[in-house]
Amino acid sequence: MYNLLLVVPRGAEMSDPFYQLQWQLLVDNQLAARQVQLWIATLRCRVPDIAGNKWLKLKYHIQQIQQHNKTGILSFGGAFSNHLLALAAAGHYFGFATVGVVRSHQPDLHNPTLQRCRELGMQLLFVSPEQYRQKQQEEFLTELSRQYPDYLLVPEGGSSPLALPGLAELQLQQTPAGPASLMAMACASGGTLAGVATAHPGTSVLGISVVKDKSLPDRVRQLLPAKASNNWQLRHEQSGRPYGKFNQDTLQFCLQLARQQQIYTEPVYSGKALQSLMLWAQQGDFAAGSNIAFFHTGGLQGLSGLHHRALITEAQLQLLKPL
Ligand SMILES: Cc1ncc(COP(=O)(O)O)c(C=O)c1O
């Protein structure tokens, strides 16, 4: 097993050799007229399958299994889960076993995400949506722990308290134009928002929810430390489409960004959230002089799954997914 993590002590995070942060300014006349700058922060990980927020969320889970000599990590996700793919890639790279509990009516083994997970050595357990809903229940978890006694069980999306220290290392407030006045990102299970908000108590953090989940604010609160600052808020993305679904307007937005500005997003997480953020900025929701940092949380691997389900064309896939 690679023990890279153990030689990167806490406090040496800024020199984490595993990724680089890349900044791109989103150019838009209406934002310029409102004197708002919008910076996109993209994390380039040494292992490309571990994209966006995933390395930061997984980092200290991996450290924990290495320190306790555990066999591997078991986690949960949908059939096109970015999190499961990143976990499978991390297991492959660092040499630990991975198990993915997948919510699926009927397993589709040609699904590109699951295919890649299997290539990377992940064991997949398919459960019905009804069973999957029990994923936080004691009985279900106890049974899984009995079957996989030497595994760390990590919740869906990797959003456990162990995700927070990794996310806290992200230097999201340091945009090329100076300190961010607002930090924003797509939000689903809440870990990314909780981690960034905890690390920057003096800066406003906006989670743009792409899920219709009334419990999300509580889930974020549960992850936050007891005396956390009240610097975060959640706002639902503007298209109103359910999780995983998108309208043509959002797809066109992603295509245009890729074509004109080489900013690569997908319409389920980052594109939906960024489109919402731009609309709010264009309509004047943020004060003149705002310097906004948007964390690109990844998810581009999911584009192959959208193509697989004929939700985007081959040409759109090629345009949205850089080499
Ligand atoms: C691409 C992408 N963006 C954003 C999120 C949302 O992050 P979180 O679940 O931490 O709210 C996820 C899910 O983890 C994701 O896969």
What tokens does 219 get? 């889930």
Task: Give the mutation target among 49, 53, 205 for probing the ligand 1 site: most ligand atoms within 8 A of CB.
Answer: 53
Q: Is residue 182 part of a domain?
A: no
CA of 109 to the centre of ligand 1 (A): 23
CA of 28 to the centre of ligand 1 (A): 26
d(CA 299, CA 186): 11
CA of 33 to the centre of ligand 1 (A): 31
Q: Is residue 303 part of a domain?
A: no
| DSSP H or E segment with residue 78 | strand 72-78
- The predicted pLDDT at position 8 comes to 45
CA of 186 to the centre of ligand 1 (A): 6
- 269 CA: nearest ligand 1 atom: 3
Nearest protein Cα to ligand 1, atom 12: 188
Q: Is residue 123 part of a domain?
A: yes
Residue-wise pLDDT tens for the chain (323 aa)? 555 444 344 444 456 889 999 999 999 999 999 999 999 999 999 999 999 999 999 999 999 999 999 999 999 999 999 999 999 999 999 999 999 999 998 889 899 999 999 999 999 999 999 989 888 888 999 999 999 999 999 999 999 999 999 999 999 999 999 999 999 999 999 999 999 999 999 999 999 999 999 999 999 999 999 888 899 999 999 999 999 999 999 999 999 999 999 999 999 999 999 999 999 999 999 999 999 999 999 999 999 999 999 999 999 999 999 87
Q: Tell me the DSSP string of 241-262.
A: PPTT---HHHHHHHHHHHHHH-
Percent of the chain with pLDDT over 90: 87
- pLDDT tens column, 197-246: 999 999 999 999 999 999 999 999 999 998 888 999 999 999 999 999 99
CATH number at residue 69: 3.40.50.1100
Q: Is residue 116 part of a domain?
A: yes
- The predicted pLDDT at position 11 comes to 44
Backbone angles phi, psi at 40, to 5 degrees: -105, 125
Nearest protein Cα to ligand 1, atom 9: 189
How do beta strands 232-236 and 178-179 pair?
unpaired
d(CA 19, CA 16): 7
d(CA 216, CA 212): 9
> Per the structure, how many domains does the chain have?
1
Task: Give the mutation target among 192, 211, 215 for probing the ligand 1 site: most ligand atoms within 8 A of CB.
Answer: 192
Q: Which of 231, 211, 208, 210 is nearest to 221 (CA)?
A: 231
- pLDDT tens column, 61-106: 999 999 999 999 999 999 999 999 999 999 999 999 999 999 998 8
Q: Is residue 76 part of a domain?
A: yes
Q: Is residue 186 part of a domain?
A: no
The residue segments making up the domain with residue 122 are 58-158
CA of 173 to the centre of ligand 1 (A): 19
- The predicted pLDDT at position 7 comes to 39
SS3 227: coil
Q: Is residue 42 part of a domain?
A: no
List the helix and strand counts (H, then E) for the chain.
13, 12
Residues with CB under 6 A from ligand 1: 52-53, 82-83, 157, 159, 186-193, 269, 297-299
Predicted TM-score (pTM) of the model is: 0.94
d(CA 127, CA 248): 31
Q: Is residue 96 part of a domain?
A: yes
**116: Cβ contacts below 8 Å, ≥ 6 apart:** 49, 85, 88, 301
Cβ atoms of 287 and 176 closer than 8 Å: no
